[in-house]
């Protein structure tokens, strides 16, 4: 899976995407992540990437041209690069926006099955000129009902969740477990843990080894 991220702040991604599961997945070439900065392709001499909103209002809006220039370069250049086997490239473009459709695991699963390349367009300031979504045919996606400072954190959340759906990123056993178990209430050793004079015990069903009962308990917790 290839991720392309259009952002004014590529450094924000450094630590999260270069450690743990995502680092391993990148090292094994299971996922590939590239960054593109609109400031690098602005044509005006002050490298301006935003302007005041038409119709008035506070803040600034990211201009369409540098973003569209990068998007065209990515789609054209990437189209020429051959994928292994006979797989044909298929692009999806996403504009991160608090007003977009809600991101879900189901969305992650179907996107990974259908696309080879996902382009994220991260907004800052008050947003992105609406013609960007129009021209690129992008979907507007939100990761939750709260407003972040920009789309970067949302793109990282989506890359993490999408990558978990890529074959080989999670061990086979781990991904099967994820399908099977609905419980989010987990315990590990010791079975009894004391804190400030009170003992907290692991539910006995989990320690008794009856897998049918364990599955039933997990469906309810």
| Position among 22, 128, 138, 151 found at the interface with ligand ADE (CB under 6 A) | 151
Residue 144 makes contact with ligand ADE by CB under 6 A:
yes
For residue 123, give the nearest of 52, 60, 54, 71 by alpha carbon: 60
Q: Does 143 bind ligand ADE (CB under 6 A)?
A: yes
**Burial of 96: CB neighbours in 10 Å, binned 0-12, 13-18, 19+:** buried
Phi, psi of 2 (to 5 degrees): -110, 125
Site string for ligand ADE, 63-102 (x = CB under 6 A): ---------------------------------xxx----
- Which structure tokens are listed for 158? 């989506």
Buried b (16+ CB within 10 A) or exposed e, 143-161: beeeebebbbbbbbbbbbb
Q: How far is the CB of 153 from ligand ADE (least distance, A)?
A: 8
130 lines the binding site for ligand ADE (CB under 6 A): no
Of the candidate residues 2, 93, 136, 142, the single one contacting ligand ADE (CB under 6 A): 142
User: Which CB sits closer to ligand ADE, 21 or 147?
Assistant: 147
172 CB contacts (<8 Å, ≥6 apart)? none
Q: Does 6 bind ligand ADE (CB under 6 A)?
A: no
Q: Can residue 176 be called a binding residue for ligand ADE (CB under 6 A)?
A: no
Chain contacts with ligand ADE (rule: CB under 6 A): 96-98, 142-144, 146-148, 151, 154
């Amino acid at each position: 899976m290839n991720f392309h991220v259009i952002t004014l702040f590529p450094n924000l991604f450094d630590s999260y995407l270069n450690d743990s599961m995502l680092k391993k997945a990148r090292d094994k070439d299971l996922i590939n992540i590239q960054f593109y900065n609109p400031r690098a392709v602005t044509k005006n001499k002050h490298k301006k990437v935003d302007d005041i909103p038409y119709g008035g209002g506070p803040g600034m809006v990211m201009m369409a041209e540098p973003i569209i220039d990068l998007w065209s370069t990515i789609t054209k250049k990437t189209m020429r690069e051959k994928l292994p086997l006979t797989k044909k490239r298929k692009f999806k473009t996403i504009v991160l926006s608090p007003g977009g459709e809600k991101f879900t695991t189901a969305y992650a699963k179907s996107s990974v099955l259908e696309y080879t390349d996902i382009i994220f367009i991260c907004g800052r300031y008050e947003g992105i000129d609406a013609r960007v979504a129009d021209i690129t045919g992008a979907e507007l996606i939100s990761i939750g009902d709260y407003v972040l400072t920009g789309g970067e954190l949302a793109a990282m959340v989506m890359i993490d969740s999408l990558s978990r759906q890529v074959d080989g990123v999670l061990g086979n056993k781990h991904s099967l477990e994820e399908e099977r178990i609905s419980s989010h209430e987990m315990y590990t050793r010791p079975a009894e843990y004391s804190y400030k004079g009170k003992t907290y015990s692991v539910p006995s069903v989990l320690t008794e080894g009856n897998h049918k009962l364990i599955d039933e308990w997990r469906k309810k917790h």
